[in-house]
């Protein structure tokens, strides 16, 4: 302490010009330090519990063994500083990733032509070699719904990381969509879902079993939609053969509202102990319907394969059917177990007579009670082989069918709540896309939760260091006063 005071008393510190020079040196050191930190691109400290401002460990694991150079082009994103900062976090994880910012798109006629953009448009392009994935701003968020309210949920990390994963995939999952007898024109009704599947690095093809002769060996997932008429015995047998080999099926069917006999299709369902009767589900709980439309039923969507999604998922089904499972003994005999993904409320009922105008249950309607409208079904074929089916008793909920919400306002059925998210996550599960991640972050307030050591460091920086500086200033001032 004595040595420190002796230094303070030295004439070089007391002189005004020398003091100013010292202050300037300190300021210069501060500026230099900040410049160095910016250049080195040190990762920000993030003490929020859900890591709202940093990359997750899951993303870091995905990038750890990256063996290709990736460029993330940020086009016309000068107004999105948060996005720029977030994208730059990827360069801190690996030097394989670089960021290219194009703030003046009007000077890049090549990009405007290549991506069909106007000068004011924004776009994110993640690319390597001749592969690329385009992301719009709307791809970076979704919504979490709770009753009549919703909160915007950020999925920037999910979108960027999955884009990197997808363009570095060497082999894409193969999805076949059963064609030939569908009630809705699948390429139109499910165009958005199909487009999204393709953009997520899946190979998607239509399958006519009568033409092909079987379900192809490379089929990772067979999608079956609402049938206009029953499948043939050959198609039935080939689908059952596919099931017995451990095939995976995604079923979106509104068969329940069509008065069409489908004994062959029913035999496919029976492999999993399932029946779907005629009639549409109506809901009497006003909190679980869409804008006074009891046939548009809102349900929670929960499944083990969506457990890593940090948000409440909801779906809205339109004229859905009731999925019924055989009794426990029959399911055991079939080697079937199931997990409910979505079910209606206890006040719902099935209506088969659509001439009834009442929105509430009548004596001609089915009994009140919860109905399963979505399920994950596992069928054990052998100790080594199992087949999986994810079934939603509604195709409309995944379609581009426009629905009038209120007055002049319309929306597409797939955009209601988390319909599209749930459907895409279901297919990802069946195709075993474990390479993708689902990271959603809400803007909710976070509690200050750090370790004792982190807490001590932060408090030292915030409180102790300023006190020391102020103390030194007071000592210098007092010494100078006494020298006068």
Number of H helices and E strands in the chain, helices first, is: 16, 23
Domains of the chain: 2-45+448-483 (no CATH), 174-431 (3.40.50.880)
Report the candidate in 113, 114, 110, 97 with the shortest Cα–Cα distance to residue 163.
97
Contact at 8 Å (CB) between 402 and 410?
Answer: yes
pTM: 0.76
CA-to-CA distance for 436 and 168, rounded, in angstroms?
12
CA-to-CA distance for 276 and 205, rounded, in angstroms?
27
Q: What does the DSSP 8-state code read for residue 148? A: T
Beta partners for 378? 337, 388
Contact at 8 Å (CB) between 348 and 284?
Answer: yes
**Which pLDDT does position 372 carry in this prediction?**
98
Beta partners for 142? 153
**Which pLDDT does position 292 carry in this prediction?**
85
**Which pLDDT does position 263 carry in this prediction?**
97
**Which pLDDT does position 149 carry in this prediction?**
57
What is the token pair recorded at 260? Answer: 């069409």
List the 70-75 sheet strands across, edge first: 97-102, 70-75, 123-128, 131-135
Q: What is the pLDDT along the chain (484 residues), one digit of tens a residue?
A: 555 555 555 554 555 555 566 667 767 766 776 666 555 555 555 555 555 568 888 889 889 889 999 999 999 998 888 888 889 999 999 999 999 999 998 899 999 999 999 999 999 999 999 889 999 998 898 766 554 556 778 889 989 998 998 888 888 899 999 998 899 988 889 999 999 898 888 999 999 999 999 999 999 999 999 999 999 999 999 999 999 999 999 999 999 999 999 999 999 999 999 999 999 999 999 999 988 899 999 999 999 988 877 778 899 999 999 999 999 999 999 999 999 999 999 999 999 999 999 989 999 999 999 999 999 999 999 999 999 999 999 999 999 999 887 777 788 999 999 999 999 999 999 998 877 777 777 655 444 445 566 566 666 665 666 667 666 766 665 666 666 5
**Which pLDDT does position 147 carry in this prediction?**
47
**Which pLDDT does position 64 carry in this prediction?**
87
The radius of gyration computed from the CA coordinates of the chain, to the nearest angstrom, equals 30
- What are the backbone dihedrals phi and psi of residue 146, each rounded to the nearest 5 degrees, phi first? -135, 105
Contact at 8 Å (CB) between 378 and 387?
Answer: yes
With the C-alpha atoms ordered 164, 305, 191, 105, is the resulting torsion angle positive or negative?
A: negative
With the C-alpha atoms ordered 178, 338, 155, 45, is the resulting torsion angle positive or negative?
A: negative
- Return the exposure string of 288-316: e unless at least 16 CB atoms fall within 10 Å of the residue's CB, then b: bbbeebbbbbbbebbbebbeebebbbbbb
User: Helix axis angle, 81-93 relative to 57-64, nearest 10°?
Assistant: 50
Contact at 8 Å (CB) between 190 and 399?
Answer: yes
């Amino acid at each position: 302490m004595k040595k420190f005071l002796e230094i303070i008393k030295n004439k070089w510190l007391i002189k005004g010009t020398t003091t100013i020079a010292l202050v300037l040196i300190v300021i210069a050191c501060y500026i230099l330090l900040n410049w160095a930190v910016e250049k080195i691109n040190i990762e920000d400290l993030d003490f929020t519990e859900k890591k709202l401002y940093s990359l997750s460990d899951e993303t870091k694991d995905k990038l750890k063994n990256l063996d290709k150079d990736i460029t993330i082009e940020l086009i016309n994103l000068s107004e999105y500083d948060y996005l720029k900062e977030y994208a730059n976090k990827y360069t801190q994880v690996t030097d394989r990733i670089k960021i290219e910012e194009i703030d003046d798109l009007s000077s890049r006629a090549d990009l405007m032509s290549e991506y069909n953009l106007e000068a004011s448009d924004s776009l994110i392009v993640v690319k390597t070699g001749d592969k690329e994935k385009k992301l719009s701003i709307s791809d970076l968020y979704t919504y979490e719904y709770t009753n009549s309210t919703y909160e915007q949920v950020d999925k920037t990390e999910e979108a960027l990381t999955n884009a990197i994963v997808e363009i570095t995939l060497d082999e894409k999952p193969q999805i076949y969509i059963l064609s030939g007898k569908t009630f809705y024109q699948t390429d139109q009704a499910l165009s958005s879902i199909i487009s999204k599947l393709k953009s997520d690095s899946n190979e998607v093809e239509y399958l006519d079993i009568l033409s092909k002769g079987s379900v192809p060996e490379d089929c990772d997932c067979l999608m079956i939609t609402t049938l206009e008429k029953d499948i043939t015995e050959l198609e039935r047998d080939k689908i059952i053969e596919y099931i017995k080999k451990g095939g995976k099926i995604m079923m979106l069917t509104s068969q329940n509202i069509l008065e069409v006999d489908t004994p062959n299709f029913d035999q496919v369902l029976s492999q999993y102990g399932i029946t779907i009767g005629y009639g549409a589900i109506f809901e009497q709980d006003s909190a679980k319907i869409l804008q006074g439309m009891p046939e548009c039923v809102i349900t929670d969507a929960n499944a083990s394969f969506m457990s890593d999604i940090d948000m409440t998922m909801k779906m809205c089904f339109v004229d859905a059917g009731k999925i019924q499972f055989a009794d426990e003994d029959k399911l055991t005999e079939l080697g079937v177990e199931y997990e409910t993904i979505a079910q209606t409320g206890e006040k719902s009922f099935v209506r088969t007579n659509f001439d009834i105008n009442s929105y509430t249950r009548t004596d001609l309607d089915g009994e009140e009670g919860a109905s399963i409208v979505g399920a994950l079904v596992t069928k054990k074929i052998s100790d080594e082989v199992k087949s999986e089916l994810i079934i939603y008793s509604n195709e409309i909920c995944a379609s581009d069918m426009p629905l009038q919400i209120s007055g002049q306002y319309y929306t597409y059925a797939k955009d209601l709540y988390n319909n599209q998210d749930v459907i895409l996550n279901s297919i990802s599960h069946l195709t075993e896309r474990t390479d993708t991640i689902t990271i959603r972050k809400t803007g909710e307030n976070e509690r200050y939760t750090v370790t004792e050591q982190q807490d001590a460091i932060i408090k030292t920086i915030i409180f102790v260091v300023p006190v020391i500086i102020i103390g030194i200033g007071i000592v210098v001032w007092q010494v100078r006063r006494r020298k006068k």
